[in-house]
Amino acid sequence: MSDILGKFNFIETGIKDLFVIEPKVFGDNRGYFMETYNYNDFKEAGLDMVFVQDNQSKSSKGVLRGLHFQVNYPQGKLVRVISGEVFDVGVDMRKDSPTYKKWYGVTLSGDNKKQFYVPPGFAHGFLVLSDEAEFTYKCTDFYHPEDESGIIWNDPVLGIEWPLDGIDQILLSEKDKNLGSL
Secondary structure string (H, E, C) spanning 70-123: ECCCCCCEEEEEEECEEEEEEEECCCCCCCCCCEEEEEEECCCCCEEEECCCEE
Catalytic one among 37, 68, 104, 144? 68
d(CA 169, CA 10): 34
- For residues 56 and 134, the answer to whether their CB atoms sit within 8 Å is yes
- For residues 118 and 13, the answer to whether their CB atoms sit within 8 Å is no
- For residues 113 and 21, the answer to whether their CB atoms sit within 8 Å is no
Whether the model pTM is above 0.85: yes
Pairing of strands 8-12, 31-33: unpaired
For 37, other C-beta atoms within 10 Å of its C-beta total 16
Phi (first) and psi of residue 39, to 5 degrees: -50, -45
Catalytic one among 104, 117, 124, 137? 137
The CATH number that domain 52-177 falls under is 2.60.120.10
Instruction: Render each residue's pLDDT in the chain as its tens digit; 182 residues.
Output: 344 446 899 999 999 999 999 999 998 999 999 999 999 999 999 999 999 999 999 999 999 999 999 999 999 999 999 999 999 999 999 999 999 999 999 999 999 999 999 999 999 999 999 999 999 999 999 999 999 999 999 999 999 999 999 999 999 999 999 999 98
Q: Is 137 a catalytic residue?
A: yes
The amino acid sitting at 103 is W
Q: Is 124 a catalytic residue?
A: no
